[in-house]
Chain A
């Protein structure tokens, strides 16, 4: 029981992903557990809480840093290692056996095994880009698991990798830079250094870049420095956003910018920098957001807390879902009374 309480208190969900069928949500935490939520449960429109989650333990030695979903494989990024697990949609079963494994090579002068901090999946080309703790971005072919290419340039660990369909990769790192890469060029094509902009610099919090997001013309990045919108063509900072905390999550959602991080609210800004919606969350820090608009609108925000925050129209907090204590399986029954207590505690 005690271990359960500890898990509840220290549950840190770093990553989430939605299955290709858009019917299941996977959340991975630092304790090596993957929670699987059936999204149908959220769209019931009844007074019942959604059904229990499924849990798939990967072993306490596995930190799940990032997740991705490709075809019918769940891809897990852990420490020094990326592996795939087969997902059986009909039986709703996540295989316990790793279908494949890619090891991140140790650098010659490395002291510790590099984390896989961020993955970006380019499904058209079956390519996975992994930003790692050694400051290198690895391009991995999912056909054969080979590392096709290494993007070198960052001088500290990479926090975030994103890309777009025309082969451009954007990465943000601890060294305070956002670097632009292209499939066809050896060196980086461009670089931003938000901390050198006096409007963006927040000296107390350092220069690291925690999150990057792009669309066709614009890029948002933030971290220690203030989040801001940059123009991809001119590399000019066109808009500063007033998010009060350090940034770990940012994204373009519809016509808005989503920002989350070490702040008790997740915020939506318009592209003009006006605060549109300010959603209270329980996380000490938000680390991940996933969303979809079809078959129904839904967003899940996770972070350092035992709860997923669900938004159904991206403007209001719809509900919160417990993770530990809300799992189906052997210990569910013994947990029941306690869960009730927590609910009541919540009510007060």
Chain B
């Protein structure tokens, strides 16, 4: 009897061990404790252990959320070690949810979510399934569907992850509608509305057609059809639906919403219809950004009559109603296993649907922002819905992963065979030796190597993309394009005094203002032409304007110059890029000559190998120079002559820069002196330009 401890003794011992286990964050102490009670039977030991867990939980409830989490995780490990009953982790969670506030529940629920893969393991699934479901349902019952939408969603998502798709309890197999989702409207109709609706369902056949009077009532009466689509199969009801739907859609099309901010977005959306399929990620980001801006979510429609006008001009609201139409139409058309035979569409009805459906899609497309995109997405979703429906009709079969086709061998091998990869180091070395840049990306490499001196190239005249105001205003653009307007105003402020004159206008829209300015400019130009008459005068005005026409053509040239990105381009880079070639403002690079080298070598002296390395010679090349020429001076001479003969980039500037980098200041100063001397002799006026820069 001494060896077999009582329940409470065991429990106390377990609790003690548990403190230790939590500290170490491992289940080992518990297991060893458990094993130490050899005299008790397995069954006897488990329940004290269970109880110990629950007691510890009770003591720690007031603690922070993380510690509850660790306890749950420990219990999972304990189950794996077979020292507690399988349900304990879930029981612990369930107990916690029962006693803490909703805010805390929301935080603790993350552990449930994190462990979803654990719950799905065989050990847990069988025994915990019901406990988990009960726990979730208890939580859902406590939550408000309108206030805690996010948490509700999390729970439902968890359940759908946890249970297999074909789990019967999660499916609405008989296709029932949520008939409780009544939308009440009207000022005083609250009390008799319910009765009305019930009557409608029961005795719909005999009721005279109820025609609602104004837009408000017509609009909200539609919600009843969306709630219970089967009403549409009733003739009288259908007539009413038909009429009201017609009115609502007409209203929508009579007042189109316009989206000022995103109009440019929309246009690109249209233009890149094809491109978008490829470049989905980018537009996705843009679209999601706009979506994120409007994250108002209402679980229920607000039906105050005063709101209707606002609602009708709210694009989100409009969308949700239009999507409701589409969902209804889809339901009416598809075959659903549990629809009774009476529920078939008359030809007139299906004609109406066929006619109206494209109209709804068109309205969706016309509703900004990103209307076309939205409409396509909805269409896609509805297609998926149809698949789900078919799946349900076939009795909710379990899902199997489609068997993956074996990747054919040549496919796997083909890419490497096509292009043996060069070592990155080799590429870099080769590039730097030839004074180029290697950036690892073909397009970047090409761009970086346009010109030997990128900064100089940026200053080039051709890089001046600022268009002439007149030409810019003539360019075709969207009717309302804020970006265009902004740019035009900037140009206006820069280039003409019209920016500061007052224009009397019926509207204050910028686009109109710009239109007026454009007309004025044209008129002015004509006046100038008339006034001066002679062709010479025209020339002079044009040139003072900065040659509007020629600058336009220049722009086009610029575009055509930019070469198409070629995928298979190596490091042979166009050195003869026009940007550099015909540019007078650039200084001509001063090449290093033998005479220069002779002058500088004494200043470099002993550490010539460093210079060699910097230039890009390999170690063995340097060794070769050293071996062949005993004195450092001669070896250095040999190396540098090799350099200047091989490398186009062997300019004095580069050299000076290199030496400076090696902190050979004396030599660097020497090279700089040479540069100044050379400049002074070859291009006397260059100095001035440098100053002006």
Is A316 within 8 A of B188, CB to CB? no
CB of B640, distance to nearest CB on chain A (Å): 71
The interface-forming segment of A13-21, A152-160, A274-282 is A274-282
Is B189 within 8 A of A46, CB to CB? yes
Question: Which of B189, B214, B221, B247 has the most CB atoms of chain A within a 10 A radius of its CB?
Answer: B214
Point out the residue from B215, B240, B254, B305 that lies within 8 Å of A280, measured CB to CB: B254
A315 partner residues in chain B, CB cutoff 8 A: 254-255, 309, 312-313
Is A319 within 8 A of B214, CB to CB? yes
CB of A240, distance to nearest CB on chain B (Å): 12
Is B507 within 8 A of A272, CB to CB? yes
Residue of A with least CB distance to B480: A274
**B422, CB-defined interface residue at 8 Å:** no
Is A272 within 8 A of B506, CB to CB? yes
Is B212 within 8 A of A47, CB to CB? yes
Is B189 within 8 A of A47, CB to CB? yes
Residue of A with least CB distance to B304: A45
**A271, CB-defined interface residue at 8 Å:** yes
**B512, CB-defined interface residue at 8 Å:** yes
Is A47 within 8 A of B213, CB to CB? yes
A270 partner residues in chain B, CB cutoff 8 A: 507
Q: How far is it, in angstroms, between the C-alpha of A274 and the C-alpha of B243 when the chains are bound?
A: 30
B240 partner residues in chain A, CB cutoff 8 A: 347
Is A319 within 8 A of B507, CB to CB? no
Question: Which of A47, A49, A274, A347 has the most CB atoms of chain B within a 10 A radius of its CB?
Answer: A47
Is B212 within 8 A of A276, CB to CB? no
**A143, CB-defined interface residue at 8 Å:** no
Q: How far is it, in angstroms, between the C-alpha of A105 and the C-alpha of B138 when the chains are bound?
A: 88
**A169, CB-defined interface residue at 8 Å:** no
B212 partner residues in chain A, CB cutoff 8 A: 47
Q: How far is it, in angstroms, between the C-alpha of A173 and the C-alpha of B674 when the chains are bound?
A: 90
Is B312 within 8 A of A316, CB to CB? yes
Question: Which of A229, A270, A315, A318 has the most CB atoms of chain B within a 10 A radius of its CB?
Answer: A318
CB of B151, distance to nearest CB on chain A (Å): 36
**B16, CB-defined interface residue at 8 Å:** no
B305 partner residues in chain A, CB cutoff 8 A: 45
Residue of B with least CB distance to A234: B504
Is A47 within 8 A of B217, CB to CB? yes
**A348, CB-defined interface residue at 8 Å:** yes
Residue of A with least CB distance to B479: A274
B254 partner residues in chain A, CB cutoff 8 A: 265, 277-280, 315-317
Interface 0/1 of A262-301, CB less than 8 Å to B: 0001000011101011111000000000000000000000
Question: Which of A42, A46, A276, A343 has the most CB atoms of chain B within a 10 A radius of its CB?
Answer: A46
Residue of A with least CB distance to B217: A47
Q: How far is it, in angstroms, between the C-alpha of A47 and the C-alpha of B305 when the chains are bound?
A: 12
Given known contacts A271-B506, A271-B507, A344 and B213 CB-to-CB distance under 8 angstroms: no
B209 partner residues in chain A, CB cutoff 8 A: 344, 347
Is A280 within 8 A of B512, CB to CB? no
Q: How far is it, in angstroms, between the C-alpha of A50 and the C-alpha of B251 when the chains are bound?
A: 21
Residue of A with least CB distance to B505: A238
Interface 0/1 of A216-241, CB less than 8 Å to B: 01100000000001010110001100
CB of A347, distance to nearest CB on chain B (Å): 5
B217 partner residues in chain A, CB cutoff 8 A: 46-47
Q: How far is it, in angstroms, between the C-alpha of A212 and the C-alpha of B210 when the chains are bound?
A: 42
Given known contacts A218-B506, A272-B509, A312-B309, A318 and B215 CB-to-CB distance under 8 angstroms: yes
**A313, CB-defined interface residue at 8 Å:** yes
Is A317 within 8 A of B506, CB to CB? no
CB of A241, distance to nearest CB on chain B (Å): 11
B188 partner residues in chain A, CB cutoff 8 A: 46
**A91, CB-defined interface residue at 8 Å:** no
A231 partner residues in chain B, CB cutoff 8 A: 504, 506
Q: How far is it, in angstroms, between the C-alpha of A343 and the C-alpha of B215 when the chains are bound?
A: 16
Q: How far is it, in angstroms, between the C-alpha of A66 and the C-alpha of B256 when the chains are bound?
A: 34
A272 partner residues in chain B, CB cutoff 8 A: 506-507, 509, 511-512
Interface residues of A in 36-56 (CB under 8 A from B): 42, 44-50
B586 partner residues in chain A, CB cutoff 8 A: none
CB of B523, distance to nearest CB on chain A (Å): 14
**B44, CB-defined interface residue at 8 Å:** no
Is A46 within 8 A of B215, CB to CB? no
Interface 0/1 of A311-348, CB less than 8 Å to B: 01101111100000000000000000000000110111
Interface residues of B in 194-232 (CB under 8 A from A): 209-217, 221
Interface 0/1 of B506-529, CB less than 8 Å to A: 110101100000000000000000
Question: Which of B186, B209, B254 has the most CB atoms of chain A within a 10 A radius of its CB?
Answer: B254
Q: How far is it, in angstroms, between the C-alpha of A45 and the C-alpha of B304 when the chains are bound?
A: 9
CB of B428, distance to nearest CB on chain A (Å): 58
Is A317 within 8 A of B215, CB to CB? yes
B309 partner residues in chain A, CB cutoff 8 A: 312-313, 315-316
Is A46 within 8 A of B255, CB to CB? no
Is A347 within 8 A of B215, CB to CB? no
CB of B474, distance to nearest CB on chain A (Å): 20
CB of B44, distance to nearest CB on chain A (Å): 72
**B688, CB-defined interface residue at 8 Å:** no
B359 partner residues in chain A, CB cutoff 8 A: none
Q: How far is it, in angstroms, between the C-alpha of A23 and the C-alpha of B216 when the chains are bound?
A: 21
Given known contacts A45-B186, A229-B506, A272-B507, A312 and B255 CB-to-CB distance under 8 angstroms: no
Of all A-B residue pairs in the complex, the 7 with the closest CB atoms, nearest first, are A313-B309, A319-B214, A277-B255, A316-B251, A45-B305, A315-B255, A318-B215
10 residue pairs from A and B, CB less than 8 Å apart: A45-B186, A47-B217, A231-B504, A271-B507, A277-B256, A278-B254, A315-B313, A316-B312, A347-B211, A347-B243
With contacts A45-B186, A272-B506, A277-B254 known, what are 18 further pairs, Cβ within 8 A?
A42-B214, A46-B186, A46-B187, A47-B212, A231-B506, A234-B504, A276-B255, A278-B253, A278-B255, A313-B309, A315-B255, A315-B313, A316-B312, A317-B215, A318-B216, A319-B213, A319-B215, A347-B242
